[in-house]
Amino acid sequence: MLSELNFTTTLHSTVILSFTVISNPEPQPSDYVWKKCDVEESIGHLQCFSLVDEGHLNVSIVDLTSNLTISDFIQHDIGRYVLTVQNGVGDAWNQTFLVVIKGIQYVSSIFS
Ligand SMILES: *[C@@H]1O[C@H](CO)[C@@H](O)[C@H](O)[C@H]1NC(C)=O
Ligand SMILES: *[C@@H]1O[C@H](CO)[C@@H](O)[C@H](O)[C@H]1NC(C)=O
Ligand SMILES: *[C@@H]1O[C@H](CO)[C@@H](O)[C@H](O)[C@H]1NC(C)=O
């Protein structure tokens, strides 16, 4: 697993999470899955759900790069984003991005 990438942003700015894979065979666009993973306090572990390209989220894939663009970043968007890429051979890649807002505390007790 690749290390977690940390981003600090400010409220209402645009955040672009970008990842380029080096892969042969090349993944298809449907092989890139962006997820948001939050700690569910009631169950005490990380819950991930797939993000869809709508609202203030935009997913783009060009060649081997995928961007997740979050426009008008709000407090609710704070947290952990995981891009999973597979190419049908071997394990999927999982790249984690942790996005926080400057000055707002984010508690991530499960992974820290
Ligand atoms: C996402 O961004 C791409 C490229 O900028 C654009 O063509 C597309 O319409 C956008 N999708 C949404 C849902 O905004
Ligand atoms: C990702 O964002 C960067 C920075 O804005 C841009 O240069 C690049 O073209 C984008 N790539 C994709 C796949 O949208
Ligand atoms: C990435 O995550 C998927 C499912 O969450 C898992 O099956 C896979 O083994 C992980 N890949 C690596 C390299 O850890």
Comparing 44-48, 67-71, 92-96, 97-101, which segment has the lowest mean pLDDT? 44-48
| pLDDT(106) > 80 | no
In a domain, 47, yes or no: yes
CB of 2 closer than 6 angstroms to any ligand 3 atom: no
Domain count, the chain: 1
Q: Ligand 1: which residue has its CA nearest to atom 14?
A: 58
Q: How far, in Å, from the CA of 43 to the mean position of ligand 3?
A: 21
In a domain, 112, yes or no: no
Mean pLDDT of the chain: 87
Query: Whose structure tokens read 């997913």?
Result: 59
Give the domain extent around 64.
3-101
In a domain, 86, yes or no: yes
In a domain, 60, yes or no: yes
In a domain, 45, yes or no: yes
| pLDDT tens track for 1-34 | 557 899 999 999 999 999 998 888 899 999 999 9
In DSSP notation, the chain reads -PPPEEEEE-TT--EEEEEE---SSPPPGGGEEEEEEEEETTTTEEEEEE--S-TTEEEEEETTEEEEEE-S--GGG-EEEEEEE--SSSPPEEEEEEEEETTS----TTT-
Instruction: Identify which of 33, 3, 9 has the alpha carbon closest to the alpha carbon of residue 97.
Output: 3
pLDDT of residue 107: 63
Percent of the chain with pLDDT over 70: 93
* CATH assignment at residue 40: 2.60.40.10
In a domain, 110, yes or no: no
| Cα gap 47→32, rounded to integer Å | 19
| Cα gap 30→14, rounded to integer Å | 24
